[in-house]
Amino acid sequence: MPETSRRHLLLGGAAVSAGALLTACTSNEPKNQSPVGSAAPAADDKPGTPVTIGFAGPQADHGWLNAINDNAERRAKTYSDVTLEITEGSNDTATQIGQVQTLINKKVDVLVILPADGKALTQIGLQAMKAGIPVINLDRIFASPQAYRCWIGGDNYGMGLNAGNFIGEQLKDKPNATVVELAGMDSLELTKQRTQGFDDALKNYPNIRKVARQAADFTVESGQAKMAQLLQAQPKFDALWNHDDDQGVGALRAVAQAGRKDFLMVGGAGAKSAMDAIKADTGVLKATVLYPPTMAASAIDLARALGQKKGVGGMSELEIPASITLYSAVVTKENVDEYLPTGFS
């Protein structure tokens, strides 16, 4: 999962749900909104002022990042009044700065930027804003609020909090319950936020104790290797919180190889493979906590609204918000069919 160094943590998971707020978000769209996960606005949507949106993201070397690009492109195609200028993603900050500079020189109407490094790209965000091109800062936040008009992204603290609360409710009646954690990269702020949320949630359940934590690297290979180490070190525990569904593929392989079925697992992000496993309900994976890549589709909605000088449908204000934090919903067997359309590969 990409790094998010976000200032506006909405504690307790009380975040604005962009899924509810931004599906068919601009105020010139009808009230009949698309279902959850649909990239298409309502069929009778009336085009507005033509808007050219520049989109710059990092290299899609992870399932979630690939889904970010896909959501942005598919959403833009649903609008006859939107032209999308998309760059080839790069994890090299200098390359991405050059790509954004090209979009500024093309005089696009609005920029949507998911920076490879928010701090490193802050100056180019400031440059765009000073040039009169509003910026939608997607997920990884710039170092200055002057570098963007609106930030939209996920709630890493909320992911851990909701994962912890879900596990807590499953184990609240079990004396001396134990849990383990398969985290992401400890060098990333988002990993610390997810762990903090998880630990804070467990404070509400005095019968539950975290007995082990292992950091992986958000890859299938690292997930398998680190999970194997956890399983070897902990012959018995009741629940596992895994930060990322991509590394969770590897973690589940390690679980299968060890023949373990004695605990429940909660994943993170919302991959389709995880949702399929939850629906089948034949293994340890019982839930995943969303970090929705649909935020990229919502960013296109916001950019279109900015370009057409519209507000957000469902809100009274004439302007779009300055900050939107997506809610980290918990997907279980009971509600998985609702969220399956948002699952990414």
Which pLDDT tens digit goes with each residue over 61-94? 888 999 999 999 999 999 999 999 999 888 899 9
Report yes or no on 341 lying in a domain.
Answer: no
pLDDT band for position 34 (50/70/90)? very low
Which pLDDT belongs to residue 38?
Answer: 42
The answer, yes or no, to whether residue 171 has pLDDT greater than 60, is: yes
- Which residues lie below 8 Å from residue 169, measured CB to CB, with a gap of 6+? none
Looking at the domain assignment, is residue 239 inside a domain? yes
pLDDT of residue 314: 86
Mean pLDDT (the chain, rounded): 88
Note the pLDDT of residue 45.
65
Query: Same structural domain for residues 147 and 90?
Result: yes
Measure the CA–CA gap between 102 and 128, rounded to whole angstroms: 11
Residue 334 has pLDDT above 60, yes or no: yes
Q: Which domain holds residue 245?
A: 156-290
Rg (CA), the chain: 20
Task: Grade residue 180 by pLDDT with cuts at 50, 70 and 90.
Answer: very high
Helix (H, G, I), strand (E, B) or coil at 99: helix
Residues 23 and 150 in one domain: yes
Same-domain status, 22 and 150: yes
Q: Are residues 21 and 150 in the same domain?
A: yes
**Of 136, 154, 143, 158, the residue nearest 322 (C-alpha):** 136
CA separation for the pair 82, 87 (Å, rounded): 16
Query: Taking the CB of residue 317, how many other CB atoms lie within 10 A of it?
Result: 9
Are 97 and 207 members of one domain?
no
Note whether residue 343 is domain-resident.
no
Residue 338 lies in a domain: no
Answer yes or no: do 97 and 163 share one domain.
no
Q: What token pair was written down for 80?
A: 């006859």
CATH number of the domain to which 164 belongs: 3.40.50.2300
pLDDT in tens, 149-160: 999 999 999 999
Please tell me whether residues 39 and 80 are part of one structural domain: yes
What is the pLDDT averaged over residues 289-310? 96
Helix axes 63-77, 245-258, angle to 10 degrees: 140
Asked if residue 166 lies in contact with residue 208, where contact means CB atoms within 8 angstroms, the answer is: no
- Which pLDDT value is given to residue 30? 30
Going along 164-207, which residue ranges are E strands?
A: 177-183
User: What is the arithmetic mean of pLDDT over 247-257?
Assistant: 97
Q: Are residues 265 and 239 in the same domain?
A: yes
Q: Is the pLDDT of residue 298 over 70?
A: yes
- According to DSSP, the β-strands at 51-56 and 82-86 are parallel
Residues 111 and 181 occupy one common structural domain: no
Indicate whether 121 and 201 sit together in one domain. Answer: no
Question: Of how many residues is the chain composed?
Answer: 345
Residues 29 and 123 placed together within one structural domain of the fold: yes
C-beta of residue 128 within 8 angstroms of C-beta of residue 104: yes
Tell me, yes or no, whether 230 lies in a domain.
Answer: yes
The model carries a pTM of: 0.83
Instruction: Grade residue 41 by pLDDT with cuts at 50, 70 and 90.
Output: very low
Give CA–CA dist 10/88, Å, rounded. 33
In this structure, the answer to whether residues 149 and 211 fall within a common structural domain is no
SS3 category, 47? coil
Phi and psi at residue 34, to the nearest 5°: -70, 155
Answer yes or no: is 11 within a domain. no
pLDDT in tens, 186-211: 988 899 999 999 999 999 999 999 99
Q: Is residue 187 part of a domain?
A: yes
What's the structural domain count of the chain? 2
Residue 139 belongs to a domain:
yes
CB atoms within 10 A of CB 261: 11
